[in-house]
Amino acid sequence: MGLKIKRGDTVQVISGKEKGRRGEVREVLPKKNRVVIEGINERTRHARPTQQNQQGLYTFNAPVDISNVMLVDPSSGEPTKVGYRFTDSGEKVRVGKKSGKDIDG
């Protein structure tokens, strides 16, 4: 099943320790039902310093389950569910359920 969130969308976390925070989707992992969001769920890894990486610590954004995020409607700025509709030319566009306005433009 296709996901209703795409790379570049602004989403809000609705559950977990990061609840209420917003960020931009950097990567979508549809097979795992997860998304990577910039600035959310940051983790730290320890690695042996090498010629390329002199520092032993590095941080990265771990994936978050797609069920724990909601798309932020660009027109109203509130989290909303996503639906679909077809334009007159037959193109499929995403629609915010709260405002009823197109998300994809």
* CA 74 – CA 58 distance, rounded (Å): 33
Per-residue pLDDT of the chain (105 residues; tens, 9 = 90+): 568 999 999 999 999 999 999 999 999 999 999 999 999 999 999 988 888 878 888 899 999 999 999 999 988 899 999 999 999 999 999 999 988 899 876
Residues 60 and 99 in one domain: no
Q: Which residues contact 26 (CB under 8 A, 6 or more apart)?
A: 7, 36, 37, 38, 61
CATH number at residue 1: 2.30.30.30
Cα 101 to Cα 105: distance, rounded to the nearest angstrom: 9
Question: 68 and 81: one domain?
Answer: no
Check: CB of residue 41 under 8 Å from CB of residue 63. yes
Q: Are residues 4 and 37 in the same domain?
A: yes
Tell me what pLDDT residue 105 has.
Answer: 60
Domain with 96, as residue range(s), is 74-105
CA-CA distance, 71 to 7, in Å (whole number)? 11
The helix/strand count (H/E) of the chain reads as: 0, 10
64 shares a domain with 21: yes
Total domain count, the chain: 2
